[in-house]
């Protein structure tokens, strides 16, 4: 040891630590081959028979990085034990002094069980408490080394394991999935150069421009502090009070009032990194980037009334949908799109790319599709994986870097900080779901729940006793922060200031861009959402302030909402912070409409209800089930009770579901089979009428055979659309037209919704 220590006479790296000239050339740490600080083979030979002591750890290896199988537990065929591995004879009784005597303190088995139970809960996430997650991989379509040295993009076809958590933002852990809310879309890439977390949302902009306002917006959004109501809803005074006083929230609020905030499924929503990030290549050259996830199935949403009803029937609607799709082998898939641009381009635009309340229209910078994300495995244990996963925006890898976005800056701090409370200490990175697959070697030590058993005497650097290990990687292989991170000339002043650049003062152009890019039906839904939410606001001045803000977005929208809320006269438009804002480059962006990405045209995993009763036409039902299932849909026979029904030809059908346990709004489409005798009863039944009416008014396709048209009449549904045309989503057919009808129906299901039925498109 002395010889080796003497080999390092002084610290040769010291001089490289000073002066700007050295900043680019950080040397690799000085190190010598370390002596074996591990016990010798002979001293181990005896110990090695003892599984607890184990074999000698392979030099330079950290075993906690191995596959999650190292911690997966399967109890099949196993005896019940205590936490200490002591076999438990009976799990039915506490130890007592006599059958009717007191319980005994010495019952360590009962006490361990109850104590563990008492401490089962951990604090829920302060936001995004309710979520669902899945394992999968990211596969790169091409090498992006021209732009970035980041591990997942190095070579075409490279697969990087990921864990993805979707969430609602405002509701508590047990709240409903279908709340009107922004959805989280957080991706942890386990790259071979360390973990990279891309913690995004399904809306590309945010409420605020500066991290210091985050506690304010979240306090305003969450249930009000005096009575803790309402749960998972923005429809209350404090939220609208805050946003009506924060004009920069207007753009996000427009998105939040759109159908984007009530997705049909996690599988049918986009994801966005929101902030502008940087890509950095081997040569140290950087470009700016925005990240987009695009679902292969297209972007599809619920309608508000449907979301409200589903919340009552199945609070786990999105969680169940994700779980079932993966179990069925219908793996959710998203493509990664990058908007890559330069500092010079950014400087020329009317908006600031460091302002997270602004997006970059795809018409200005098109998406470059660079890979796909596939989710192909459900977690084994919700708590161990989905609850304990810790996403941190600070976790980036060589090839990715931050920008000076003042919202991002706060996030880099917040995510690590929050895990310290939520997961109980600084070792949360060792929890298996959070552990990197890249090797972890450093001198961070101790703290609650430490898992690693670090060997040797050295827990500091530089050292000579361990041959200098672990040694610094140097700029050749280690993460080096990009030198120039100033996105704008005006930011080059190094004065310490608490202000934002001037372009941040423009608050309405992109809210208008978003609104004007929507279809008439989407606009109508936005107006309806404002009406609903503001009608829940009890302070008239807040409603008025919101209308004056909307007047700066679209006078038509503001007038409609004001009229719906009983305003007799319009308030003045809200004064603007920007006196002479630059002209926006793009004023309509068709890609911002939900319909711009209809998906791959398949009907896979769509739930289709086939109504059954005694006397329905049996032959067509079996054929329907086979055809729809072959197309990948999930046909379900729905009756009034869970029993066997007899078809007109004597066939037996067992109902899969009832109108009570699976109401109409839980399905994506409906088939009404023929069969006069069956329909007589159903026609008068109010449940059936509601079932059919919900399908129709939530714009879903309906296929009605023969006499079943009577059910449509009973539900007051007409095949004509308000504009006089025939509804392509309502297919009426006779049994003889079966083949043609089913083809039309499958096409109609692939379109998802038939918004031509919307009676109020005048916004």
| Residues with active-site annotation | 128, 201
Q: State which residue, 57 or 126, has the beta carbon closest to ligand HDE.
A: 126
What tokens were used for 525? 């839904």
Q: Give the sign of the dihedral formed by CA 332, CA 333, CA 334, CA 336.
A: positive
In angstroms, give the least distance from the CB of 286 to ligand HDE. Answer: 21
CA distance 746 to 606: 10
In angstroms, give the least distance from the CB of 269 to ligand HDE. Answer: 12
Q: State which residue, 282 or 417, has the beta carbon closest to ligand HDE.
A: 417
In angstroms, give the least distance from the CB of 596 to ligand HDE. Answer: 21
Cα–Cα distances (Å) from 186 to 293, 316, 390, in that order, read 11, 19, 10
What tokens were used for 377? 């495995």
The conformation of residue 384, written as its DSSP 8-state character, comes to I
- Residues in contact with ligand HDE, total (CB under 6 A)? 25
Number of C-beta neighbours around residue 682 at 10 A: 26
Q: State which residue, 176 or 309, has the beta carbon closest to ligand HDE.
A: 176
Residues 732, 495: contact at Cβ < 8 Å? no
Q: State which residue, 392 or 633, has the beta carbon closest to ligand HDE.
A: 392
In angstroms, give the least distance from the CB of 356 to ligand HDE. Answer: 6
Q: Is 175 in the site for ligand HDE (CB under 6 A)?
A: no
Binding mask 226-255 for ligand HDE (x = CB under 6 A): ------------------------------
Taking CB under 6 A as the criterion, the residue among 31, 34, 128, 544 binding ligand HDE is 128
For residue 195, the cross-strand partners are: 190
Binding mask 408-447 for ligand HDE (x = CB under 6 A): --xx--xx--x-----------------------------
Concatenated DSSP letters of 648-700: TTS-EEE-SEETTTS-GGGSSEEEE---HHHHHHHHH-HHHHHHHHHHHHTT-
> Which residues have a Cβ under 8 Å from the Cβ of 491 and sit 6 or more positions away?
404, 501
Q: State which residue, 164 or 603, has the beta carbon closest to ligand HDE.
A: 164
In angstroms, give the least distance from the CB of 127 to ligand HDE. Answer: 5
In angstroms, give the least distance from the CB of 495 to ligand HDE. Answer: 23
Taking CB under 6 A as the criterion, the residue among 274, 302, 303, 702 binding ligand HDE is 274
Report the helix count and the strand count for the chain, using DSSP H and E: 20, 18
Taking CB under 6 A as the criterion, the residue among 391, 504, 530, 665 binding ligand HDE is 391
Q: Is 184 in the site for ligand HDE (CB under 6 A)?
A: yes
90-98, 196-204, 357-365, 477-485 -> range binding ligand HDE (CB under 6 A): 196-204
> Which residues have a Cβ under 8 Å from the Cβ of 75 and sit 6 or more positions away?
none
Taking CB under 6 A as the criterion, the residue among 201, 299, 517, 552 binding ligand HDE is 201
Q: State which residue, 184 or 468, has the beta carbon closest to ligand HDE.
A: 184
For residue 720, the cross-strand partners are: 726
Q: State which residue, 177 or 668, has the beta carbon closest to ligand HDE.
A: 177
Q: What are phi and psi of 755, to 5 degrees?
A: -75, -5
Residues 513, 586: contact at Cβ < 8 Å? yes
In angstroms, give the least distance from the CB of 222 to ligand HDE. Answer: 12
What tokens were used for 220? 């305003």
CA distance 411 to 408: 5
103-111, 407-415, 595-603, 705-713 -> range binding ligand HDE (CB under 6 A): 407-415
Please, what's the b/e burial string for 207-216 (b: 16 or more CB within 10 A of its CB; e: otherwise)?
Answer: bbbbbebbee
Q: Given the structure tokens 């098109």, which residue do they identify?
A: 366
CA dihedral 48, 51, 52, 55 (to 10 degrees): 40
124-132, 312-320, 471-479, 658-666 -> range binding ligand HDE (CB under 6 A): 124-132
Length of the chain: 763
Taking CB under 6 A as the criterion, the residue among 53, 126, 491, 735 binding ligand HDE is 126
What tokens were used for 604? 């896979």
126-134, 241-249, 362-370, 708-716 -> range binding ligand HDE (CB under 6 A): 126-134
3-state secondary structure of 324: helix
Alpha helices (H) in 261-391, listed in sequence order: 304-313, 317-327, 343-348
Q: Which residue is nearest to ligand HDE (CB)?
A: 184
Q: Is 615 in the site for ligand HDE (CB under 6 A)?
A: no
End-to-end Cα distance, the chain: 81
Taking CB under 6 A as the criterion, the residue among 186, 280, 546, 750 binding ligand HDE is 186
Taking CB under 6 A as the criterion, the residue among 31, 34, 125, 278 binding ligand HDE is 125
Q: Scanning residues 338 to 377, which ones bind ligand HDE (CB under 6 A)?
A: 356
Nearest CA among 313, 340, 379 for reference residue 148:
340
Residues 143, 157: contact at Cβ < 8 Å? no
Binding mask 207-226 for ligand HDE (x = CB under 6 A): ----x--x------------
Q: State which residue, 334 or 471, has the beta carbon closest to ligand HDE.
A: 334
Burial of 564 (0-12, 13-18, 19+ CB in 10 A): middle
Q: Is 407 in the site for ligand HDE (CB under 6 A)?
A: yes
In angstroms, give the least distance from the CB of 186 to ligand HDE. Answer: 4
Q: State which residue, 349 or 391, has the beta carbon closest to ligand HDE.
A: 391
CA distance 132 to 185: 10
In angstroms, give the least distance from the CB of 209 to ligand HDE. Answer: 10
In angstroms, give the least distance from the CB of 367 to ligand HDE. Answer: 17
In angstroms, give the least distance from the CB of 756 to ligand HDE. Answer: 34
CA distance 671 to 731: 9
Tell me which residues touch ligand HDE (CB under 6 A): 125-128, 131, 165, 167, 184, 186, 199-201, 206, 211, 214, 274, 356, 390-391, 407, 410-411, 414-415, 418
């Amino acid at each position: 040891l002395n010889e080796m220590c003497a080999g390092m006479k002084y610290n040769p790296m010291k001089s490289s630590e000073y002066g700007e000239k050295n900043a680019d050339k950080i040397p690799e740490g000085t190190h010598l081959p370390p002596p074996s600080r591990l016990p010798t083979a002979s001293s181990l030979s005896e110990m090695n028979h003892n599984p607890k002591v184990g074999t000698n750890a392979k030099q330079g290896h950290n075993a906690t990085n191995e596959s999650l199988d190292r911690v997966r537990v399967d109890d099949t065929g196993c005896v019940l034990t205590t936490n200490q591995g002591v076999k438990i004879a009976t799990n039915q009784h506490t130890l007592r002094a006599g059958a009717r005597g007191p319980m005994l303190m010495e019952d360590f088995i009962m006490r361990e069980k109850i104590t563990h139970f008492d401490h089962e809960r951990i604090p829920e996430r302060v936001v995004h408490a309710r979520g669902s997650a899945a394992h999968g991989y990211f596969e790169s379509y091409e090498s992006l080394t021209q732009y970035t040295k980041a591990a997942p993009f190095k070579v075409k076809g490279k697969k990087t394991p990921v864990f993805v958590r979707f969430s609602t933002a405002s509701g508590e852990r047990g709240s409903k999935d279908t709340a009107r809310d922004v959805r989280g879309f957080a991706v942890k890439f386990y790259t071979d150069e360390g973990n990279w977390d891309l913690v995004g949302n399904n809306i590309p902009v945010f409420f605020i421009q500066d991290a210091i306002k985050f506690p304010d917006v979240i306090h305003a959004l969450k249930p009000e502090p005096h009575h803790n109501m309402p749960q998972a809803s923005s429809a209350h005074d404090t939220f609208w009070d805050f946003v009506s006083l924060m004009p920069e929230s207007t753009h996000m609020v427009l998105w939040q009032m759109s159908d984007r905030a009530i997705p049909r499924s996690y599988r049918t929503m986009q994801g966005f990194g929101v902030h502008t990030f940087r890509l950095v290549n081997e040569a140290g050259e950087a470009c700016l980037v925005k990240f987009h996830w695009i679902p292969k199935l297209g972007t599809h949403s619920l309608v508000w009334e449907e979301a409200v009803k589903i919340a009552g029937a199945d609070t786990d609607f999105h969680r169940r949908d994700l779980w079932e799709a993966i179990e069925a082998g219908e793996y959710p898939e998203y493509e990664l799109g990058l908007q890559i641009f330069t500092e010079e381009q950014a400087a020329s635009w009317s908006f600031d790319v460091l302002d997270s309340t602004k997006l970059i229209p795809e018409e200005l910078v098109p998406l470059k599709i660079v890979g796909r994300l596939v989710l192909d495995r459900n977690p084994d244990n919700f708590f161990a994986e989905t609850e304990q996963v810790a996403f941190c925006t600070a976790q980036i890898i060589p090839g990715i870097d931050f920008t000076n976005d003042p919202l991002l800056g706060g996030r880099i701090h917040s995510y690590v900080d929050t895990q310290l409370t939520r997961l109980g200490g600084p070792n949360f990175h060792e929890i298996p779901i959070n552990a990197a697959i890249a090797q972890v070697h450093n001198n961070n030590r101790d703290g609650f729940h430490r898992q690693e058993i670090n060997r040797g005497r050295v827990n500091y650097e530089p050292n000579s006793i361990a041959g200098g290990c672990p040694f610094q990687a140097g700029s050749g292989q280690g993460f080096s922060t990009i030198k120039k991170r100033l996105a704008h000339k005006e930011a080059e002043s190094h004065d310490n200031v608490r202000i934002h650049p001037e372009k941040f003062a423009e608050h309405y152009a992109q809210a208008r861009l978003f609104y004007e890019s929507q279809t008439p039906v989407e606009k109508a839904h936005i107006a309806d959402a404002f009406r609903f939410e503001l009608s829940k606001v009890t302070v008239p001045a807040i409603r008025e302030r919101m209308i004056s803000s909307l007047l700066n977005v679209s006078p038509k929208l503001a007038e409609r909402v004001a009229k719906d809320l009983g305003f007799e006269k319009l308030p003045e438009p809200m004064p603007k912070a920007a006196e002479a804002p630059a002209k926006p480059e793009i004023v309509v962006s068709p890609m911002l409409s939900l319909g711009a990405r209809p998906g791959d045209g398949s009907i896979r995993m769509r739930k289709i209800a086939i109504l059954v009763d005694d006397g329905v036409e049996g032959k067509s039902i079996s054929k329907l089930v086979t055809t729809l299932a072959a197309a990948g849909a999930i046909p379900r026979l729905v009756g009034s009770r869970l029993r066997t029904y007899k078809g007109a030809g004597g066939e037996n059908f067992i109902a899969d579901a009832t109108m009570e346990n699976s109401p109409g709004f839980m399905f994506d489409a409906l088939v009404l089979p023929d069969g006069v005798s069956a329909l007589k009863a159903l026609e008068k039944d109010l449940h059936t009428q509601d079932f059919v009416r919900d399908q129709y008014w939530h714009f879903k396709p309906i296929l009605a055979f023969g006499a079943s048209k009577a059910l449509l009449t009973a539900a007051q549904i007409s095949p004509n659309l308000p504009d006089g045309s025939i509804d392509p989503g309502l297919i009426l057919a006779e049994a003889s037209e079966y083949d043609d009808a089913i083809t039309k129906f499958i096409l109609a299901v692939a379109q998802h919704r038939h918004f031509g039925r919307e009676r109020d498109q005048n916004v």
